[in-house]
Amino acid sequence: MSDDLAPPPHTGQAAATAATAATGANRTPRESRAALRQEAVAVNAPAGELDHWLVRDPIRTAVIVILLVSLAVRFSVVKDSFFITDDYMLSARAMENPLSWGYLTRVHTGHFEPIGFTVMWLLAHLAPLNWAVTVLVLIAGQAVFGAMMWRLLVEVFGRRPALLIPYAMFCFTPLTLSAFTWLAAAIIWLPLMIAITGMLIYHTRYVRSGRRLDALWAVLWFVVGLASFEKIVVFLTFIPFFTMAISPTVDFRLRSVLGLVRRTLWVWLGYAVALAAYLVLYIPGVRSAGNASPVAAPTAGPLGDFVYLSVLRTFVPGIFGGPWDWQPTSYGLGIVDSPRAFDWLGWLLALVLVGGSLVFRRGVARFWVALLAYIAGSLAVVAMGRVAFGGAIVALETRYLADAVVPLFVTLGACVAPMVGEEHPWLPLRARVDRAVSRPLLWGAVSAAALSTVLVSLHAFNGYAAMSTRNPYRGFVDNAVNSFRALPASAQVFDTAVPGELIGPLFAEYNSVSRFLAPVATDEQRDQMYTRRWYTNPYVITPTGELKPMTVSPSATAQVFGGCQAAVGGRIELPLSGPLFEWSWAVRVGYLADSATPAVISLGSAQQEVPLVEGLGEVWVNLIGAGDRLVITGLADSVNVCVGDAQVGLPQAAP
């Protein structure tokens, strides 16, 4: 009985195969498979039909078409999305630092991501706040991941047409949508998942060949994963079970398992050494000042809800193209919000899939157990880092289980194809079904089911696009960048909080206009925005993102007597029209001086030193204070200064 979709070999093909077997003793398994494939096509294809490479290898053509179509769909979503919250903070931080060891190994909200920080640094320096370039980077990463996933399936199961079914489902899965569309997420999830596929490819080769070079490559890919995202540790809960799954001749007797461990000892030692070195870097980074990550075990109730929502409302429906609908949580982001009936259908299909595979396929239970181990480890990591602080609802964010698609679709590959070199993969019931149902009809039904999943996935893509492409701040950012680049040389950007919820107060100083504009500023402009505390030609950002000359919308004005209140003993005290509570106030002072002099402007305990110029002048400062008067001190005794007007209030664009 054939193990995949290929038709029975023709006589000519059998002869070619025999000839190859006689002459290919020194070929590697990969070379032998390639030679067999080429000879089989040559025997069966009429003359003149092998001219084009797309015709010579239909499996390769199908893989390319599936991958390109999926990338086109993803591109249509990503290109109309935009930067979100963390992206601006990470861009600003990249501009503030050289590409140094300290910058790359900084632990950010618990995340150790040297590869992600490298990507952000390059984007910030080469294409600051440029979404078009960012889209190309995101799509290129997904293309690499898609190619690596096919290599993994072929490595484990051989090059079989049946694998096109799980591969198509993988390429279109919505479980990776939010992880690959949001830049701050993609720079950790994409390298992580590429690394996992690379590790599994070479781990599989090492288990089968025993070559130490393959073990070294597996460990190097593990290092790439460690440099991508700390969630790579979940891999260690999965890889022992995966090793058993790809070793069907090893049973669960202690002696047999120990023999497998001894035979593959080098790769386990390599993983252990790499993990130890990683912990030496990661633990001090987490404990360093300002980098602590909230980690706490959730209580039983929220933990149970989290597991239920993660598995039964997010992951299982996601296998079959879910979610059916999304609920926005902020601009550009959303969570799963499928109708209950859709979830129930997903549960039923999952039972059919798992149960059917168990009665048709030998050894597939090992793959399912490995997948469960990965999901359990993943849920444990996310629960410790998010549930106690964000609640169980974080389970409805698909990106937290995005990396589980790698073991998921390897498991689905095991459901439809035997492994390389595996003998007797199918149970007797499979043979009876083959006799009762014609092979084209059987595979037609399986392919139709997979196609239905892809169509449901496209519905999920469309729903996500409707949400993520409504980013209300794209025009704001474009206006801000263009306006900033068009500022006159004398303009000074008055540093305020960024309007709206573009970044948000959670990001502290990175919610400021100076940090927001840092990626598009020159070194000199950035230094002035970060350090300037007084202004003579201030510009303020508007709610639409434009930078315009600034004035003060007064909450209180100075009571000036005689038209111009003069300094007495180097001091001017200006009562305000009303008391002010503690706040970040913009203060404007108009004055006349017969010579330049330093001065100190105070509001309550807040004060700022400024220079006053000769003649008529005005100066603006930002003071975080409270009180019922402005006080100007520190004036030179030899200089005559008087204040004609002063206002305390909020910055606004001049009419």
pTM of this structure: 0.88
Instruction: Tell me the CA distances in angstroms from 493 to 286, 536, 546, 618, 636, one per residue in order.
Output: 35, 10, 11, 16, 29
What pLDDT, in 10s, does the model give residues 285-294? 666 645 445 5
| Domain locations in the chain as residue ranges | 11-54, 57-468, 474-548, 551-653
Identity of the amino acid at 564: C
Q: Please report the pLDDT score of residue 287 as a whole number.
A: 61
Higher pLDDT, 436 or 577: 577
From CA 251, how far away is CA 257, in angstroms rounded? 7
Residue 399 has pLDDT above 60, yes or no: yes
Distance of CA 88 to CAs 14, 78, 85, 120, 329, Å?
Answer: 61, 17, 6, 10, 19
For β-strands 538-541 and 641-653, DSSP reports them as unpaired
Q: Are 413 and 197 in contact (CB under 8 A)?
A: no
For residue 562, the Cα-to-chain-centroid distance in whole angstroms is 63
Given this model, what pLDDT does residue 5 score? Answer: 43
40 has pLDDT over 50? no
What burial class does residue 146 get, using C-beta atoms within 10 Å of its C-beta: 0-12 exposed, 13-18 middle, 19+ buried? buried
Check pLDDT > 50 for residue 6.
no
Question: pLDDT tens digits for 490-500?
Answer: 999 999 999 98
Mean pLDDT of the region 337-366: 95
- Compute how many other C-beta atoms are within 10 angstroms of the C-beta atom of residue 292: 12
Tokens standing for residue 520: 């598009």
Stretch 149-164: mean pLDDT: 96
pLDDT band for position 46 (cuts 50, 70, 90): low
Q: Which of 29-33, 65-69, 146-150, 529-533 has the lowest mean pLDDT?
A: 29-33
Whole-number pLDDT of residue 365: 96
DSSP 614: S
Confidence (pLDDT) at 384: 84
* 8 A C-beta contact, residue 587 and residue 622: yes
The percent of residues in the chain predicted with pLDDT above 90, rounded, is 74
Of 529, 532, 478, the C-alpha closest to 502 is 478
The continuous run of DSSP H or E covering 19 comes out as helix 11-23
Does residue 177 sit in helix, strand or coil? Answer: helix
Whether pLDDT at 177 is above 60: yes
- Residue 650 backbone zone (phi > 0: left; psi -120 to 50: alpha; other: beta): beta
Distances (CA, A) of 65 to 1, 171, 366, 406: 29, 11, 32, 20
pLDDT of residue 244: 96
Tally of CB atoms within 10 A around 431:
12
Q: Which two tokens stand for residue 332?
A: 């550009």
Helices 439-468, 164-171: crossing angle, 10 deg rounding: 10
Of the given ranges (50-59, 138-147, 176-185, 527-536), which has the lowest mean pLDDT?
50-59
Q: Beta-strand (E) ranges in 220-351?
A: 326-330, 333-336
Question: What does the mean pLDDT of the chain come to?
Answer: 89
Distances (CA, A) of 156 to 32, 122, 256, 648: 16, 35, 21, 70
Report CA dihedral (614, 615, 621, 623) to the nearest 10 degrees.
90
Of 430 and 527, the structure prediction assigns the larger pLDDT to 527
Tens-digit pLDDT profile for residues 580-634: 999 999 999 999 999 999 999 999 999 999 999 999 999 999 999 999 999 999 9
Contact indicator for 645, 586 with CB cutoff of 8 Å? no
**Nearest-5° Cα angle at 181, 324 to 479:** 120
Written as one letter, the residue type at 191 is P
Q: Is the pLDDT of residue 416 over 80?
A: yes
Give the Cα separation of 639 and 595 in Å (integer). Answer: 6
Which among 167, 80, 63 is positioned nearest to 417, based on CA atoms? 167
Compute the average pLDDT of residues 190-214: 96
Mean pLDDT of all residues in 111-137: 95
In the predicted model, is pLDDT for residue 21 greater than 70? no
Q: What is the pLDDT confidence band of residue 295, given thresholds at 50, 70 and 90?
A: low
With 0-12 / 13-18 / 19 or more C-beta atoms within 10 angstroms meaning exposed / middle / buried, residue 600 is middle
Long-range contacts of 268-273 (CB under 8 A, 24+ apart): 270/215, 270/216, 270/218, 270/219, 270/222, 271/219, 271/222, 271/236, 271/239, 273/219
Confidence of residue 332 (pLDDT cuts 50, 70, 90): confident
pLDDT band per the 50, 70, 90 thresholds, residue 112: confident
pLDDT at 361: 93
Q: Tokens 């997979």, residue?
A: 450
pLDDT at 328 over 50: yes
Confidence of residue 281 (pLDDT cuts 50, 70, 90): confident
Per DSSP, 163 falls in state G
> ∠ CA 170-172-174 to the nearest 5 degrees?
100
Whole-number pLDDT of residue 636? 93
pLDDT at residue 363 above 70? yes
Q: pLDDT confidence of 389, banded at 50, 70, 90?
A: confident
Work out the pLDDT band at 438, boundaries 50, 70, 90: confident
One DSSP character per residue, 326-361 reads EEEEETTEEEE---HHHHHHHHHHHHHHHHHHHHHB
Burial annotation 347-373 (CB, 10 A radius, 16+ → b, else e): eebbeebeeebeebbbbbebbbbbbbb
Q: Which helix (H) or strand (E) holds 264?
A: none
| Least confident piece of the model among 139-143, 201-205, 556-560 | 556-560
Find the range with the poorest average confidence among 277-286, 390-399, 528-537.
277-286
CA–CA distance, 203 with 205 (Å, rounded to integer) = 5
Q: Which carries the bigger pLDDT value, residue 2 or residue 499?
A: 499
Q: In terms of pLDDT, which residue wins out, 9 or 175?
A: 175
Give the number of other Cβ atoms within 10 Å of residue 333's Cβ.
21
Omega prior to 8 cis, within 30 of 0: no
Q: Nearest 5°: phi and psi at 580?
A: -120, 135
**Percent of the chain at pLDDT above 70?**
90
Fold type of domain 551-653: Jelly Rolls (2.60.120)
Quote the CA–CA distance of 518 and 529 in Å, as a whole number.
Answer: 8
Between residues 57 and 325, which one has the greater pLDDT?
A: 325
